[in-house]
Structure 1
């Protein structure tokens, strides 16, 4: 379930037993997966996804160019966490997200970071402009 907040969105994401490392904390690689799934879920709820192996809109065809994360506190155990994300900048073909992985009440920030997506043309695999529809949907995430 996603929630719209003052700026950006919050998506509740489950942490499963197999997401934990040998110490019983969320493995560092799983943060990127949780952010990816939260962002994908948000866009899917707005009609931008893949179905039958094909993008539902041209804007669904995009790749991650950059990903940076700073860890603050470990997630210990299973349960739900909140992934909050927003757009710091929407360029012609790029989207610069900020994100925060936190407790459901937002009181504990486990990690935060930045992610840049680039919309690409499926034939050339070169950067391509976001569509007007994609820009309008993305505008609701701009901080």
Structure 2
């Protein structure tokens, strides 16, 4: 499946991600989204490794997470996570995402995740760096494309 914007990262659903009915547990979607986002930013030089961050932009907090479930994930194996940025402001950003089957045909869930960059000393919002802005530009959905 080809996407005109954003990025698709494949993550793996493991046995311990499933609930008692063999369905991907609802709480695991946030973790799997994090596992999709992290390699994208890491490959572009913005990472947290060995107790240190490579850029101050790594220090951020999730402000809001919304998700709508469309079709259950029923078992282990690969899952495609399509994500993009709907907004990248002075101190905050809002991702949109879709969890899909590996072939892209089945939409399992969709939602948004808003984050705020924080100053480590004050824990108050602070501006993104130019390095983060450059990476974010690669994920922004063009305004001309439908939401």
Please give the range of the TM-score, normalised by the shorter of the 2 chains: over 0.9
Q: Which residue of 1 aligns with 2:4?
A: 6
Structure 2: any 5+ residue segments left out of the alignment? 142-147
Any residues of structure 2 matched to 1:9-88 within 5 Å, and which?
9-88=7-86
Deviation, structure 1 residue 72: 0.5
Deviation, structure 1 residue 6: 2.0
Cα displacement string for residues 22-79 of structure 1 (whole angstroms, at most 9, x for unaligned residues): 0001000011110011111211111111122121101111110000000001000001
Structure 1: any 5+ residue segments left out of the alignment? none
Give the secondary-structure state (helix, strand or coil) at the position aligned to 2:31: helix
Cα displacement string for residues 57-114 of structure 1 (whole angstroms, at most 9, x for unaligned residues): 0111111000000000100000101001000010001011000000011110000000
| Length-normalised TM-score, structure 1 | 0.95
| Length-normalised TM-score, structure 2 | 0.92
Give the secondary-structure state (helix, strand or coil) at the position aligned to 2:133: helix
RMSD over equivalenced CA pairs, Å: 1.1
